[in-house]
């Protein structure tokens, strides 16, 4: 199947616009739930679906934090917020992120992840080794007295598959894999003043259906059917299910999710927490690899 670059670029523009819109939404005192709803509405109002739920991961949370349907938390005046989003059109998936500093005290982290991303992008072309991209990212970050997160990184993106084949590290991991002309990739440096690794936290609000199995309960069958009809194999948020199945109710939806998870038909995406509880910044863009350079999709 030939990559539909035209549709991909159109989705990329919407994703970038949504990121810029998020800057006006994410303010101290604003609820995370309200911010996520507004960002997602911005995307759907333009006729697009989602590559994955809006991630609003603050401070030591590096990724995968999206609010629950009854989340009461609000942004604080000292929060460092990673906004990671993606608009989807048909099978074309986009993925991009920025970091917003509500305190004004963490600009050094943002500058480091932005510079690492910029320097990495300047290297992207067919034939470049992924280890060399990672080497440049870590070199840029280390020069600013900070660390990359070593167990997170960029990735390939295929039509209908958000995390595909190639992994693009944030340090020199020795991988001699070469980027290929026409390949679509996401570059995403994660920078921290902590330990440089993430671990799974307790919050779990994002899942992805990966298999079909026989289900016993009415609740699980209803939840499974709703996922198939609305999200297919794309990641979804628990709040989307609860709002979409009002007749089933909050408790029964969560019970159905638990049965699906136990049956092995769901892949969970728990929140990722910086191991040393350091602050984390993320910068991400999606690119099309060309013979001698690249084209930024999320621009």
| Burial class for 184, CB neighbours closer than 10 Å (0-12, 13-18, 19+) | buried
Of the chain, the end-to-end C-alpha distance in Å amounts to 25
The span from the CA of 259 to the CA of 190, in Å, is: 34
Tokens of residue 29, six digits: 């005192």
Instruction: Report which secondary-structure segment, H or E, holds 40.
Output: helix 32-45
CA atoms within 13 A on the CB side of 24: 7
- 152 phi/psi in degrees, rounded to 5: -130, 155
Compute the radius of gyration of the chain from its Cα atoms: 19
The span from the CA of 172 to the CA of 154, in Å, is: 13
Tokens of residue 204, six digits: 């779990």
How is residue 213 annotated by DSSP?
-
The residues annotated with a catalytic role in the active site are 84, 95, 155, 163, 188, 284
CB 216 within 8 A of CB 194: no
């Amino acid at each position: 199947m030939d990559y539909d670059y035209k549709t991909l670029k159109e989705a990329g523009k919407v994703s970038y616009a949504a990121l810029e819109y998020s800057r006006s939404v994410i303010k101290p005192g604003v609820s995370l739930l309200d911010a996520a709803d507004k960002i997602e509405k911005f995307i759907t109002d333009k006729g697009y679906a989602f590559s994955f739920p809006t991630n609003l991961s603050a401070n030591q949370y590096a990724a995968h934090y999206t609010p629950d349907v009854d989340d009461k938390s609000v942004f604080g005046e000292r929060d460092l917020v990673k906004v990671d989003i993606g608009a989807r059109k048909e099978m074309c998936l986009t993925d991009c992120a920025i970091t917003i500093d509500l305190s004004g005290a963490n600009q050094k982290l943002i500058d480091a992840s932005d510079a690492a991303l910029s320097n990495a992008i300047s290297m992207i072309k067919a034939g470049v080794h992924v280890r060399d991209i990672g080497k440049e990212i870590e070199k840029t970050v280390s020069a600013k007295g900070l660390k990359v997160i070593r167990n997170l990184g960029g990735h390939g993106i295929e039509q209908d598959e958000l995390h595909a084949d190639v992994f693009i590290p944030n340090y020199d991991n020795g991988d001699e894999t070469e980027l290929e002309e026409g390949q679509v990739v996401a570059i995403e440096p994660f920078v921290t003043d902590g330990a440089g690794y993430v671990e799974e936290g307790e919050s779990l609000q994002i899942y992805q259906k990966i298999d079909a199995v026989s289900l016993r309960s009415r609740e699980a069958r209803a939840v499974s059917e709703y996922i198939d009809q609305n999200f297919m194999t794309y990641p979804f948020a628990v709040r989307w299910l609860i709002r979409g199945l009002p007749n089933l109710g909050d408790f029964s939806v969560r019970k159905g999710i638990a049965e699906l998870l136990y049956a092995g038909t769901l892949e969970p995406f728990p929140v990722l927490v910086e191991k040393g509880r350091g602050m984390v910044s993320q910068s991400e863009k999606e690119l099309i690899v060309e013979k001698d350079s690249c084209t930024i999709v999320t621009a």
